[in-house]
Amino acid sequence: MTRHAAPAPVMTIDGDEDTSKRRQIIDGARGVFMNLGFDGASMGEIARAAGVSKGTLYVYFADKNRLFEAIVEQECLEQGRVVFNFDPARDVETTLREFGCAYIQLLCRPDGGSAVRTVMAIAERMPDVGKRFYDNVIALTMERLGTYLKARADHGDLAMPDAELAAMQFMQVCQATLFQPYIFQARPAPAPAEIARVVDSGVRMFLAGYRAR
């Protein structure tokens, strides 16, 4: 899926094509892109950060756009790999509380916030990149949570007409006073206790609305 025209290593047994240079570039470039934004990042800076020459960048990526796309793709993969515990057998309150805290912690990690910020910033000029990130990261999480909620609804704990809407509502409610001050640099990343407090409040409101009577 993410295969590119990069030179294939000759003597590796397993198919990890992303080893060595290509991966090294992506790893180095991610930080630069995320810290400075697409326009703010220069290929020279990226080359330095990745520990390769500028020319090598172009051996593995056709141009700056493609390199950026690969970074976002990688970010999608990694953020998509984050697994929350949606075991349908677990009780709703604990599950939501744990998920909420983990989700906010992810969003408010320097990496998480930067990815959201950087991709959102470029979305107008590179809609495909924006859509891809939304689909593979945000919508994916929403779907997974939605599936869990539906399972609990079938189980009789919850009652809701639209599980995915409910999922997104919960994800949003958890952000409440946490994410926006952080992403706008109005406040530093929230402390775990603060997160717990806000998520707790969110869980209470969510359950008040959707608990089966």
Instruction: Give dist(CA 112, CA 104) in Å, integer.
Output: 9
For residue 202, CA distances in Å to 6, 82, 146 come to 46, 22, 16
For residue 42, state whether it binds a second copy (rule: CB under 8 A): no
CA trace torsion 170, 87, 132, 69 (10° rounding): 120
Question: Taking CB under 8 A as the criterion, which residues in 100-129 touch a second copy?
Answer: 114, 117-125, 127
- Give the relative orientation of helices 192-210 and 92-107 as an angle to the nearest 10 degrees: 130
Closest CA to 151 of 210, 93, 89: 89
Residue 19 binds DNA, judged by CB under 7 A: no
Q: How far is the CB of 109 from DNA (least distance, A)?
A: 26
DSSP 189: P
Q: Is 121 in the site for DNA (CB under 7 A)?
A: no
- Cβ 158 to a second copy shortest distance, Å: 12
53 binds a second copy (CB under 8 A): no
Which residue in 13, 14, 55, 89 binds DNA (CB under 7 A)? 55
Say whether residue 37 binds a second copy (CB under 8 A).
yes
Closest CB to DNA among residues 39, 135: 39
Residue 41 makes contact with DNA by CB under 7 A: yes
Question: Quick check: 49 and 32 in contact, CB under 8 A?
Answer: yes
Nearer to DNA, 30 or 64 (CB): 64
When the beta carbons of 33 and 103 are compared against DNA, the nearer one is: 33
Query: How far apart are alpha carbons 184 and 120 in whole angstroms?
Result: 13
Q: Give 135's DSSP letter.
A: I
Max distance between CA atoms of the chain, in angstroms, equals 65
Point out which residues bind a second copy (CB under 8 A).
35-40, 114, 117-125, 127, 130-131, 133-135, 138-139, 142, 162, 164-165, 168-169, 172-173, 175-177, 180-181, 183-186, 198, 201-202, 204-206, 208-210
